[in-house]
């Protein structure tokens, strides 16, 4: 079984982990994964500063837009307030 170090998100805990994963399935291997949620969020804040937008491209084509706003700003998507 081939493994690699990787970053992953757990929908059960809502946390971000770094550890060894099975290269084919992405499942965690062993018990050495580490909770890196705080570090991940700090990096995200540096990559995507507050009150900015960034396009995310896949294979050279813009696919997504990341919008980061402070909690005091109202955000509407398709006319609906996002909370």
pLDDT digits (tens, 9 = 90+) for 7-60: 999 999 999 999 999 988 888 888 889 999 999 999 999 999 999 999 999 999
Pairing mode of beta strands 34-35, 15-22: antiparallel
The model scores a pTM over 0.75 = no
What distance in Å separates the CA atoms of residue 37 and residue 9, rounded to the nearest whole number? 9
- Classify 38 as helix, strand or coil: helix
């Amino acid at each position: 079984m081939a493994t690699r170090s990787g970053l992953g998100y757990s929908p059960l805990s809502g946390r971000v982990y770094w550890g060894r994963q099975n290269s084919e399935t992405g499942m965690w291997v062993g018990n050495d994964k580490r909770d890196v949620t705080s570090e991940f969020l700090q990096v995200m804040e540096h990559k995507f500063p507050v009150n900015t937008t960034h396009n995310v491209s896949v294979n050279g084509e813009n696919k997504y837009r990341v919008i980061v706003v402070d909690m005091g700003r109202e955000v509407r998507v398709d006319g609906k307030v996002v909370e």
